[in-house]
A and B are shown apart, each in its own frame.
Chain A
Amino acid sequence: MAKKMDFTNAAELLEICKKRRKTISEVMLAREVEKFETTPEEAKARMLKTLNVMRESVARSQTEDMKLLGGYIGGESKDMLRRIKEKGAMSGMISRASAYAMGVLEWNASMGRIVAAPTAGSSGVLPGILVALEEIYEFDDEALVRALFNAGAVGYIIGRNATLSGAEGGCQAEVGAASAMAASMICELFGGTPDVCLAAAGDAIGNILGLVCDPIGGLVESPCQKRNAMGAANAIVAAEIALATDGRTLVPFDEVVAVMYNVGRSIPYQLRETALGGLATAPSVKNLKPGSACAACGGCK
Protein backbone atom coordinates (compact mmCIF):
# COMPACT_ATOMS: atom_id res chain seq x y z
CA MET A 1 0.00 0.00 0.00
CA ALA A 2 1.33 3.40 -0.88
CA LYS A 3 2.09 5.59 2.11
CA LYS A 4 -0.41 8.36 1.56
CA MET A 5 -0.01 10.34 4.75
CA ASP A 6 3.76 10.30 5.18
CA PHE A 7 5.79 13.45 4.73
CA THR A 8 9.43 14.37 5.18
CA ASN A 9 9.22 18.15 5.35
CA ALA A 10 6.82 21.07 5.68
CA ALA A 11 6.24 21.44 1.93
CA GLU A 12 5.04 17.84 1.67
CA LEU A 13 2.92 18.21 4.81
CA LEU A 14 1.23 21.33 3.39
CA GLU A 15 0.58 19.57 0.12
CA ILE A 16 -1.17 16.68 1.87
CA CYS A 17 -3.17 19.12 4.01
CA LYS A 18 -4.34 21.03 0.95
CA LYS A 19 -5.05 18.05 -1.26
CA ARG A 20 -7.05 16.24 1.40
CA ARG A 21 -8.46 19.29 3.18
CA LYS A 22 -7.04 18.21 6.48
CA THR A 23 -5.44 19.97 9.42
CA ILE A 24 -1.82 19.29 10.43
CA SER A 25 -2.97 17.31 13.47
CA GLU A 26 -5.23 15.11 11.32
CA VAL A 27 -2.37 14.33 8.93
CA MET A 28 0.04 13.59 11.80
CA LEU A 29 -2.47 11.25 13.42
CA ALA A 30 -3.07 9.50 10.09
CA ARG A 31 0.69 9.15 9.57
CA GLU A 32 1.04 7.55 12.99
CA VAL A 33 -1.72 5.06 12.21
CA GLU A 34 -0.26 4.31 8.79
CA LYS A 35 3.32 3.75 9.94
CA PHE A 36 3.22 2.43 13.48
CA GLU A 37 0.57 -0.32 13.59
CA THR A 38 -1.85 1.58 15.78
CA THR A 39 -5.45 2.79 15.52
CA PRO A 40 -6.62 6.41 15.77
CA GLU A 41 -8.34 5.56 19.06
CA GLU A 42 -5.20 4.00 20.52
CA ALA A 43 -2.96 6.85 19.40
CA LYS A 44 -5.36 9.47 20.79
CA ALA A 45 -5.66 7.58 24.08
CA ARG A 46 -1.88 7.46 24.40
CA MET A 47 -1.67 11.18 23.65
CA LEU A 48 -4.29 11.90 26.30
CA LYS A 49 -2.16 9.98 28.79
CA THR A 50 0.81 12.10 27.73
CA LEU A 51 -1.27 15.27 28.16
CA ASN A 52 -2.21 14.15 31.66
CA VAL A 53 1.44 13.66 32.60
CA MET A 54 2.05 17.22 31.38
CA ARG A 55 -0.84 18.53 33.47
CA GLU A 56 0.42 16.62 36.48
CA SER A 57 3.92 18.05 36.05
CA VAL A 58 2.49 21.58 36.16
CA ALA A 59 0.19 20.81 39.10
CA ARG A 60 2.84 19.12 41.22
CA SER A 61 5.32 21.92 40.63
CA GLN A 62 2.79 24.16 42.40
CA THR A 63 1.88 21.86 45.29
CA GLU A 64 5.00 19.84 46.14
CA ASP A 65 7.81 20.87 48.39
CA MET A 66 10.51 20.10 45.85
CA LYS A 67 14.12 19.19 46.50
CA LEU A 68 16.06 20.09 43.40
CA LEU A 69 19.15 18.04 42.54
CA GLY A 70 21.48 20.97 41.93
CA GLY A 71 19.67 23.55 44.02
CA TYR A 72 20.60 26.32 41.56
CA ILE A 73 16.93 27.15 41.12
CA GLY A 74 13.70 26.53 43.01
CA GLY A 75 10.48 28.32 43.87
CA GLU A 76 10.51 30.85 41.03
CA SER A 77 7.30 29.54 39.51
CA LYS A 78 5.35 29.74 42.76
CA ASP A 79 6.73 33.24 43.36
CA MET A 80 5.57 34.39 39.95
CA LEU A 81 2.10 32.92 40.33
CA ARG A 82 1.79 34.55 43.73
CA ARG A 83 2.61 37.92 42.18
CA ILE A 84 0.12 37.33 39.37
CA LYS A 85 -2.53 36.62 41.99
CA GLU A 86 -1.71 39.67 44.10
CA LYS A 87 -0.84 42.28 41.49
CA GLY A 88 -2.42 40.89 38.33
CA ALA A 89 -0.67 39.46 35.31
CA MET A 90 1.35 41.81 33.14
CA SER A 91 0.11 39.88 30.11
CA GLY A 92 -2.52 37.17 30.67
CA MET A 93 -1.61 34.10 28.66
CA ILE A 94 2.11 34.87 28.59
CA SER A 95 2.40 35.41 32.33
CA ARG A 96 0.67 32.20 33.23
CA ALA A 97 2.21 30.00 30.53
CA SER A 98 5.72 31.15 31.35
CA ALA A 99 5.22 30.69 35.11
CA TYR A 100 3.97 27.14 34.55
CA ALA A 101 6.81 26.40 32.13
CA MET A 102 9.30 27.37 34.85
CA GLY A 103 7.50 25.13 37.32
CA VAL A 104 7.86 22.09 35.07
CA LEU A 105 11.62 22.66 34.87
CA GLU A 106 11.75 22.77 38.68
CA TRP A 107 9.74 19.55 38.85
CA ASN A 108 12.08 17.99 36.27
CA ALA A 109 15.14 18.97 38.29
CA SER A 110 13.68 17.33 41.39
CA MET A 111 13.34 13.98 39.60
CA GLY A 112 9.68 14.50 38.86
CA ARG A 113 7.93 12.71 36.00
CA ILE A 114 7.80 14.83 32.86
CA VAL A 115 7.22 14.50 29.14
CA ALA A 116 10.33 15.22 27.10
CA ALA A 117 8.77 17.54 24.52
CA PRO A 118 10.94 17.40 22.59
CA THR A 119 13.59 17.08 25.33
CA ALA A 120 13.73 17.14 29.13
CA GLY A 121 15.56 20.47 28.98
CA SER A 122 12.68 22.00 27.01
CA SER A 123 9.91 20.09 28.78
CA GLY A 124 8.20 23.20 30.21
CA VAL A 125 7.09 25.02 27.07
CA LEU A 126 4.23 22.80 25.87
CA PRO A 127 2.70 21.98 29.27
CA GLY A 128 2.94 25.64 30.34
CA ILE A 129 0.99 26.77 27.31
CA LEU A 130 -1.51 23.90 27.32
CA VAL A 131 -2.47 24.42 30.96
CA ALA A 132 -2.75 28.19 30.49
CA LEU A 133 -4.88 27.63 27.38
CA GLU A 134 -7.30 25.32 29.14
CA GLU A 135 -7.60 27.65 32.12
CA ILE A 136 -8.17 30.81 30.11
CA TYR A 137 -9.91 29.55 26.98
CA GLU A 138 -11.43 26.33 28.33
CA PHE A 139 -10.26 24.02 25.54
CA ASP A 140 -11.28 20.43 26.24
CA ASP A 141 -9.23 17.20 26.19
CA GLU A 142 -10.03 16.49 22.58
CA ALA A 143 -8.80 19.89 21.42
CA LEU A 144 -5.61 19.67 23.46
CA VAL A 145 -4.85 16.16 22.22
CA ARG A 146 -5.30 17.47 18.69
CA ALA A 147 -2.93 20.31 19.52
CA LEU A 148 -0.26 17.84 20.62
CA PHE A 149 -0.43 15.96 17.31
CA ASN A 150 0.03 19.28 15.55
CA ALA A 151 3.04 20.10 17.76
CA GLY A 152 4.42 16.63 17.12
CA ALA A 153 4.33 17.18 13.36
CA VAL A 154 6.44 20.34 13.69
CA GLY A 155 8.91 18.63 16.05
CA TYR A 156 9.16 15.69 13.69
CA ILE A 157 10.05 17.96 10.75
CA ILE A 158 12.77 19.66 12.83
CA GLY A 159 14.12 16.35 14.19
CA ARG A 160 14.17 14.75 10.78
CA ASN A 161 15.75 17.63 8.87
CA ALA A 162 17.84 19.33 11.55
CA THR A 163 18.28 18.32 15.19
CA LEU A 164 16.50 18.42 18.55
CA SER A 165 19.68 18.10 20.58
CA GLY A 166 21.35 20.95 22.46
CA ALA A 167 24.69 19.16 22.14
CA GLU A 168 24.33 19.32 18.37
CA GLY A 169 22.39 22.52 17.74
CA GLY A 170 22.39 24.59 20.94
CA CYS A 171 19.31 25.76 22.85
CA GLN A 172 17.63 26.89 19.61
CA ALA A 173 17.28 23.15 18.84
CA GLU A 174 15.61 22.41 22.18
CA VAL A 175 13.69 25.42 23.53
CA GLY A 176 13.60 26.82 19.99
CA ALA A 177 12.01 23.63 18.67
CA ALA A 178 9.57 23.46 21.60
CA SER A 179 8.62 27.07 20.97
CA ALA A 180 8.00 26.38 17.27
CA MET A 181 5.90 23.32 18.11
CA ALA A 182 3.87 25.34 20.60
CA ALA A 183 3.37 28.28 18.23
CA SER A 184 1.97 26.01 15.53
CA MET A 185 -0.25 24.17 18.00
CA ILE A 186 -1.76 27.43 19.28
CA CYS A 187 -2.59 28.51 15.73
CA GLU A 188 -4.47 25.30 14.98
CA LEU A 189 -6.44 25.61 18.21
CA PHE A 190 -7.52 29.12 17.20
CA GLY A 191 -8.54 28.05 13.71
CA GLY A 192 -5.38 28.95 11.83
CA THR A 193 -4.75 27.15 8.54
CA PRO A 194 -1.74 24.81 8.16
CA ASP A 195 0.09 27.68 6.42
CA VAL A 196 -0.51 29.95 9.39
CA CYS A 197 0.66 27.22 11.80
CA LEU A 198 3.96 26.71 10.00
CA ALA A 199 4.54 30.44 9.58
CA ALA A 200 4.22 30.78 13.35
CA ALA A 201 6.58 27.84 13.88
CA GLY A 202 9.17 29.35 11.56
CA ASP A 203 8.96 32.77 13.19
CA ALA A 204 9.32 31.22 16.65
CA ILE A 205 12.63 29.61 15.69
CA GLY A 206 13.73 32.63 13.69
CA ASN A 207 13.26 34.85 16.74
CA ILE A 208 15.80 32.92 18.81
CA LEU A 209 18.09 31.70 16.07
CA GLY A 210 21.56 30.92 17.38
CA LEU A 211 20.58 30.61 21.03
CA VAL A 212 23.39 28.76 22.80
CA CYS A 213 23.15 25.91 25.32
CA ASP A 214 25.23 26.83 28.39
CA PRO A 215 23.91 24.99 31.44
CA ILE A 216 25.38 26.26 34.71
CA GLY A 217 27.21 23.42 36.45
CA GLY A 218 26.24 21.22 33.50
CA LEU A 219 22.79 20.72 35.01
CA VAL A 220 19.32 21.11 33.51
CA GLU A 221 18.37 24.01 35.82
CA SER A 222 19.70 27.43 34.88
CA PRO A 223 19.40 29.10 32.43
CA CYS A 224 17.12 26.30 31.13
CA GLN A 225 14.25 27.19 33.47
CA LYS A 226 13.87 30.82 32.35
CA ARG A 227 14.59 29.92 28.74
CA ASN A 228 11.53 27.69 28.91
CA ALA A 229 9.53 30.68 30.17
CA MET A 230 10.88 32.69 27.23
CA GLY A 231 10.11 29.82 24.84
CA ALA A 232 6.48 29.84 25.94
CA ALA A 233 6.19 33.62 25.62
CA ASN A 234 7.88 33.57 22.22
CA ALA A 235 5.45 30.90 20.98
CA ILE A 236 2.43 32.95 22.02
CA VAL A 237 3.79 36.09 20.34
CA ALA A 238 4.65 34.21 17.13
CA ALA A 239 1.23 32.54 17.07
CA GLU A 240 -0.65 35.79 17.61
CA ILE A 241 1.29 37.51 14.86
CA ALA A 242 0.74 34.63 12.42
CA LEU A 243 -2.98 34.43 13.20
CA ALA A 244 -3.36 38.18 12.76
CA THR A 245 -1.40 38.36 9.50
CA ASP A 246 -2.66 35.17 7.89
CA GLY A 247 0.82 33.73 8.18
CA ARG A 248 2.62 36.43 6.22
CA THR A 249 6.32 35.67 6.50
CA LEU A 250 9.32 35.82 4.17
CA VAL A 251 11.10 32.53 4.82
CA PRO A 252 9.19 29.23 4.56
CA PHE A 253 9.45 26.78 7.47
CA ASP A 254 11.67 24.23 5.68
CA GLU A 255 14.21 26.95 4.98
CA VAL A 256 14.11 28.15 8.58
CA VAL A 257 14.82 24.58 9.73
CA ALA A 258 17.78 24.29 7.35
CA VAL A 259 19.10 27.66 8.54
CA MET A 260 18.69 26.60 12.18
CA TYR A 261 20.68 23.43 11.51
CA ASN A 262 23.50 25.30 9.79
CA VAL A 263 23.62 27.95 12.50
CA GLY A 264 23.68 25.16 15.12
CA ARG A 265 26.66 23.52 13.50
CA SER A 266 28.54 26.79 13.49
CA ILE A 267 28.01 27.32 17.23
CA PRO A 268 31.35 26.57 18.97
CA TYR A 269 31.19 23.34 20.95
CA GLN A 270 31.85 25.26 24.19
CA LEU A 271 28.33 26.62 23.72
CA ARG A 272 26.62 23.33 22.95
CA GLU A 273 25.74 21.74 26.28
CA THR A 274 29.32 21.27 27.40
CA ALA A 275 29.13 23.93 30.14
CA LEU A 276 32.46 25.30 28.90
CA GLY A 277 31.13 28.69 27.83
CA GLY A 278 28.31 31.20 28.00
CA LEU A 279 26.59 31.75 31.35
CA ALA A 280 28.13 28.51 32.63
CA THR A 281 31.54 30.18 32.80
CA ALA A 282 30.44 33.62 34.05
CA PRO A 283 32.65 34.61 37.02
CA SER A 284 29.89 34.40 39.64
CA VAL A 285 28.87 30.85 38.79
CA LYS A 286 31.81 29.09 37.21
CA ASN A 287 33.01 27.63 40.51
CA LEU A 288 29.56 27.03 41.96
CA LYS A 289 29.05 23.72 43.69
CA PRO A 290 25.64 22.08 43.70
CA GLY A 291 23.74 23.90 46.40
CA SER A 292 21.92 23.45 49.63
CA ALA A 293 18.97 21.51 48.26
CA CYS A 294 21.30 18.71 47.23
CA ALA A 295 22.98 18.56 50.61
CA ALA A 296 19.64 18.55 52.40
CA CYS A 297 18.27 15.69 50.36
CA GLY A 298 21.22 13.32 50.74
CA GLY A 299 19.54 10.80 48.48
CA CYS A 300 22.68 10.19 46.51
CA LYS A 301 24.83 9.31 49.49
Chain B
Amino acid sequence: MRELSVFDIIGPIMIGPSSSHTAGALKIARVARMLAKTKIVSAHFQLYGSFATTYKGHGTDRALVGGILGFETDDYRIRESFQLAKEAGIEIIFMEMEMETDTNMHPNTVDIIVTEEDGTVSSLRGASVGGGEIEITRINGCEIKFSGKNNAVIIQQIDRPGVLASITKVFEVFDVNISSMSVFSKEKGGAAFSVLEIDGHLPEVGMEALLRQPNIVSAVYIKVK
Protein backbone atom coordinates (compact mmCIF):
# COMPACT_ATOMS: atom_id res chain seq x y z
CA MET B 1 0.00 0.00 0.00
CA ARG B 2 1.30 3.39 -0.99
CA GLU B 3 1.93 5.73 1.93
CA LEU B 4 -0.31 8.79 2.05
CA SER B 5 1.33 12.20 2.44
CA VAL B 6 -0.47 15.13 4.05
CA PHE B 7 -0.51 16.65 0.56
CA ASP B 8 -2.45 13.68 -0.81
CA ILE B 9 -5.17 14.53 1.72
CA ILE B 10 -4.99 18.36 1.58
CA GLY B 11 -4.50 18.32 -2.16
CA PRO B 12 -3.95 18.04 -5.01
CA ILE B 13 -4.33 21.61 -6.17
CA MET B 14 -6.38 21.26 -9.32
CA ILE B 15 -8.75 22.86 -11.78
CA GLY B 16 -12.27 21.67 -10.90
CA PRO B 17 -14.77 20.25 -10.85
CA SER B 18 -13.82 16.59 -10.38
CA SER B 19 -10.63 14.78 -9.40
CA SER B 20 -11.62 11.73 -11.42
CA HIS B 21 -13.39 13.34 -14.39
CA THR B 22 -11.11 16.39 -14.74
CA ALA B 23 -7.69 15.92 -13.10
CA GLY B 24 -7.52 12.15 -13.72
CA ALA B 25 -8.61 12.53 -17.34
CA LEU B 26 -5.87 15.07 -17.94
CA LYS B 27 -3.24 12.72 -16.50
CA ILE B 28 -4.27 9.91 -18.87
CA ALA B 29 -3.93 12.23 -21.87
CA ARG B 30 -0.51 13.37 -20.67
CA VAL B 31 0.67 9.77 -20.94
CA ALA B 32 -0.77 9.58 -24.48
CA ARG B 33 1.21 12.71 -25.35
CA MET B 34 4.38 10.88 -24.25
CA LEU B 35 3.79 8.11 -26.80
CA ALA B 36 4.39 10.58 -29.64
CA LYS B 37 8.00 11.26 -30.60
CA THR B 38 7.27 14.14 -32.98
CA LYS B 39 4.56 16.78 -33.24
CA ILE B 40 1.02 15.56 -32.67
CA VAL B 41 -1.40 16.52 -35.45
CA SER B 42 -4.52 14.83 -34.21
CA ALA B 43 -5.98 13.31 -31.06
CA HIS B 44 -9.07 11.13 -31.06
CA PHE B 45 -10.84 10.42 -27.78
CA GLN B 46 -13.27 7.56 -27.38
CA LEU B 47 -15.19 7.91 -24.14
CA TYR B 48 -16.83 5.07 -22.23
CA GLY B 49 -19.23 4.83 -19.29
CA SER B 50 -19.51 7.83 -17.02
CA PHE B 51 -16.93 9.68 -19.13
CA ALA B 52 -19.26 9.35 -22.13
CA THR B 53 -22.38 10.51 -20.29
CA THR B 54 -21.04 13.38 -18.16
CA TYR B 55 -17.90 14.62 -19.91
CA LYS B 56 -19.17 18.07 -20.85
CA GLY B 57 -20.50 18.82 -17.38
CA HIS B 58 -17.18 17.81 -15.86
CA GLY B 59 -14.93 19.54 -18.37
CA THR B 60 -13.48 16.09 -19.08
CA ASP B 61 -13.11 17.01 -22.75
CA ARG B 62 -11.14 20.18 -22.02
CA ALA B 63 -9.00 18.33 -19.50
CA LEU B 64 -8.16 15.57 -22.00
CA VAL B 65 -7.16 18.14 -24.60
CA GLY B 66 -5.16 19.95 -21.91
CA GLY B 67 -3.30 16.71 -21.24
CA ILE B 68 -2.42 16.34 -24.92
CA LEU B 69 -1.02 19.89 -24.70
CA GLY B 70 1.07 18.82 -21.68
CA PHE B 71 -0.61 20.99 -19.05
CA GLU B 72 -0.49 20.34 -15.31
CA THR B 73 -3.77 19.60 -13.49
CA ASP B 74 -3.83 23.11 -11.94
CA ASP B 75 -3.25 25.06 -15.16
CA TYR B 76 -6.00 27.59 -15.99
CA ARG B 77 -5.24 27.11 -19.69
CA ILE B 78 -7.29 23.88 -19.44
CA ARG B 79 -10.34 26.12 -19.77
CA GLU B 80 -9.26 27.26 -23.24
CA SER B 81 -7.62 24.00 -24.31
CA PHE B 82 -9.78 23.55 -27.41
CA GLN B 83 -8.78 26.95 -28.76
CA LEU B 84 -5.12 26.35 -27.85
CA ALA B 85 -5.14 22.94 -29.59
CA LYS B 86 -6.55 24.59 -32.69
CA GLU B 87 -3.79 27.18 -32.62
CA ALA B 88 -1.24 24.37 -32.24
CA GLY B 89 -2.66 22.66 -35.32
CA ILE B 90 -4.02 19.63 -33.49
CA GLU B 91 -7.26 18.14 -34.76
CA ILE B 92 -9.51 17.02 -31.91
CA ILE B 93 -12.26 14.43 -32.24
CA PHE B 94 -14.53 13.08 -29.50
CA MET B 95 -16.68 9.99 -29.72
CA GLU B 96 -19.11 8.59 -27.17
CA MET B 97 -18.84 4.79 -27.06
CA GLU B 98 -20.91 1.98 -25.62
CA MET B 99 -19.35 0.24 -22.61
CA GLU B 100 -17.60 -2.97 -23.63
CA THR B 101 -19.24 -5.82 -21.81
CA ASP B 102 -16.69 -8.51 -22.68
CA THR B 103 -13.79 -6.69 -21.00
CA ASN B 104 -13.64 -5.76 -17.36
CA MET B 105 -13.92 -2.09 -18.21
CA HIS B 106 -13.77 0.63 -15.54
CA PRO B 107 -16.70 3.08 -15.84
CA ASN B 108 -14.35 6.04 -16.37
CA THR B 109 -12.42 4.80 -19.39
CA VAL B 110 -11.02 6.55 -22.45
CA ASP B 111 -9.20 5.34 -25.55
CA ILE B 112 -6.84 7.94 -26.98
CA ILE B 113 -5.39 7.70 -30.47
CA VAL B 114 -2.69 10.23 -31.38
CA THR B 115 -1.29 10.77 -34.85
CA GLU B 116 2.05 12.47 -35.44
CA GLU B 117 3.06 14.59 -38.40
CA ASP B 118 5.07 11.70 -39.89
CA GLY B 119 1.93 9.57 -39.83
CA THR B 120 2.84 7.43 -36.81
CA VAL B 121 -0.25 6.37 -34.88
CA SER B 122 -0.15 5.43 -31.18
CA SER B 123 -2.98 4.49 -28.89
CA LEU B 124 -3.69 3.86 -25.27
CA ARG B 125 -6.54 3.00 -22.98
CA GLY B 126 -6.69 4.57 -19.55
CA ALA B 127 -9.10 4.62 -16.64
CA SER B 128 -9.54 7.29 -13.99
CA VAL B 129 -9.93 5.18 -10.89
CA GLY B 130 -10.71 7.85 -8.28
CA GLY B 131 -9.10 10.79 -6.49
CA GLY B 132 -7.15 11.70 -9.62
CA GLU B 133 -5.39 8.34 -9.69
CA ILE B 134 -5.18 6.65 -13.07
CA GLU B 135 -4.44 3.28 -14.57
CA ILE B 136 -3.17 2.73 -18.11
CA THR B 137 -4.42 -0.65 -19.28
CA ARG B 138 -3.49 -0.80 -22.95
CA ILE B 139 -0.77 0.68 -25.13
CA ASN B 140 -0.68 0.20 -28.89
CA GLY B 141 -3.08 -2.70 -28.63
CA CYS B 142 -1.23 -4.58 -25.93
CA GLU B 143 -2.80 -5.17 -22.54
CA ILE B 144 -0.53 -3.80 -19.84
CA LYS B 145 -1.00 -2.13 -16.49
CA PHE B 146 0.66 0.83 -14.89
CA SER B 147 -0.32 3.78 -12.73
CA GLY B 148 1.52 6.64 -14.38
CA LYS B 149 2.73 7.67 -10.93
CA ASN B 150 6.40 6.99 -11.57
CA ASN B 151 8.52 7.41 -14.65
CA ALA B 152 8.24 4.27 -16.72
CA VAL B 153 9.76 2.62 -19.75
CA ILE B 154 7.47 0.50 -21.89
CA ILE B 155 9.35 -1.94 -24.08
CA GLN B 156 8.10 -4.15 -26.88
CA GLN B 157 10.31 -7.20 -27.18
CA ILE B 158 10.47 -10.66 -28.74
CA ASP B 159 9.80 -13.21 -26.02
CA ARG B 160 13.18 -15.07 -26.06
CA PRO B 161 15.51 -16.28 -23.31
CA GLY B 162 17.85 -13.57 -22.04
CA VAL B 163 15.87 -10.60 -23.30
CA LEU B 164 14.86 -9.47 -19.81
CA ALA B 165 18.44 -9.80 -18.56
CA SER B 166 19.67 -7.54 -21.35
CA ILE B 167 16.96 -4.98 -20.50
CA THR B 168 17.76 -4.88 -16.79
CA LYS B 169 21.48 -4.68 -17.58
CA VAL B 170 20.93 -1.33 -19.32
CA PHE B 171 19.24 0.10 -16.23
CA GLU B 172 22.09 -1.18 -14.09
CA VAL B 173 24.67 0.48 -16.35
CA PHE B 174 22.86 3.81 -16.12
CA ASP B 175 22.42 3.41 -12.37
CA VAL B 176 18.62 3.65 -12.50
CA ASN B 177 16.68 1.66 -9.91
CA ILE B 178 13.74 -0.39 -11.22
CA SER B 179 10.95 -0.06 -8.65
CA SER B 180 8.63 -2.50 -10.41
CA MET B 181 8.72 -4.62 -13.54
CA SER B 182 5.88 -6.48 -15.24
CA VAL B 183 5.97 -8.55 -18.42
CA PHE B 184 2.89 -9.00 -20.56
CA SER B 185 3.22 -11.55 -23.36
CA LYS B 186 0.66 -12.62 -25.89
CA GLU B 187 2.23 -15.94 -26.94
CA LYS B 188 5.49 -17.77 -26.29
CA GLY B 189 8.28 -16.66 -28.60
CA GLY B 190 6.12 -13.82 -29.94
CA ALA B 191 5.63 -10.16 -29.10
CA ALA B 192 5.74 -9.18 -25.45
CA PHE B 193 5.66 -5.93 -23.53
CA SER B 194 7.59 -5.00 -20.41
CA VAL B 195 6.59 -2.13 -18.15
CA LEU B 196 9.40 -0.93 -15.93
CA GLU B 197 8.62 1.74 -13.37
CA ILE B 198 11.76 3.47 -12.25
CA ASP B 199 13.02 5.75 -9.48
CA GLY B 200 14.66 8.80 -11.00
CA HIS B 201 15.27 9.36 -14.68
CA LEU B 202 16.65 7.34 -17.61
CA PRO B 203 18.66 9.63 -19.92
CA GLU B 204 18.23 9.69 -23.70
CA VAL B 205 21.46 7.66 -24.20
CA GLY B 206 19.97 5.02 -21.94
CA MET B 207 16.96 4.74 -24.21
CA GLU B 208 19.29 4.46 -27.22
CA ALA B 209 21.25 1.71 -25.48
CA LEU B 210 18.00 -0.16 -24.81
CA LEU B 211 17.02 -0.04 -28.47
CA ARG B 212 20.40 -1.52 -29.46
CA GLN B 213 19.76 -4.68 -27.42
CA PRO B 214 18.82 -7.82 -29.38
CA ASN B 215 15.13 -8.70 -29.56
CA ILE B 216 13.97 -5.22 -28.56
CA VAL B 217 11.40 -3.96 -31.04
CA SER B 218 10.59 -0.55 -29.58
CA ALA B 219 10.75 1.40 -26.34
CA VAL B 220 8.78 4.38 -25.06
CA TYR B 221 9.76 6.50 -22.12
CA ILE B 222 6.86 7.87 -20.09
CA LYS B 223 8.22 10.72 -18.02
CA VAL B 224 5.68 11.91 -15.48
CA LYS B 225 7.97 13.71 -13.04
Contact = CB atoms under 8 A, between A and B. Distances in A.
B54 A217 contact: yes
Contact of A220 (B7, B17, B50, B56): B17
Contact of B13 (A53, A118, A121): A53
A120, A149, A168, A220 — most chain B CB neighbours (10 Å): A120
Given A35-B5, A299-B62, A220 B131 contact: no
A120 B14 contact: yes
B17 A108 contact: yes
B148 interface: no
B89 interface: no
B56 A69 contact: yes
A111 B19 contact: no
A115 B13 contact: yes
A165 interface: yes
The interface residues of chain A, by DSSP majority, are classed as helix
A169 to B, nearest CB: 11
B16 A153 contact: no
A187 B8 CA distance: 22
B78 A153 contact: no
Interface residues of A, number: 55
Nearest to A53: B13
B12 interface: yes
B22 interface: yes
Nearest to A57: B16
Interface of B: 3-19, 22-23, 50, 53-54, 56-59, 61-62, 74, 76, 78-80, 82, 130-132
A120 to B, nearest CB: 5
B7 A50 contact: yes
What DSSP secondary structure best describes chain B's contact surface? mixed
A148 interface: yes
Contacts of A116: 11-14, 19, 23, 131-132
29 contacts: A29-B6, A32-B5, A49-B13, A70-B57, A109-B16, A111-B16, A111-B59, A112-B16, A113-B14, A114-B13, A116-B131, A119-B131, A120-B14, A120-B16, A120-B23, A121-B18, A123-B16, A153-B6, A156-B4, A156-B9, A165-B130, A181-B9, A219-B17, A219-B57, A220-B16, A220-B18, A294-B56, A294-B57, A299-B80
B16 A219 contact: no
Contacts of B6: 28-29, 31-32, 43, 47, 148-149, 152-153, 156
Contacts of A114: 13-16
A161 B79 CA distance: 36
Q: Which of B53, B54, B82 has the most CB of A within 10 A?
A: B54
Contacts of A43: 6
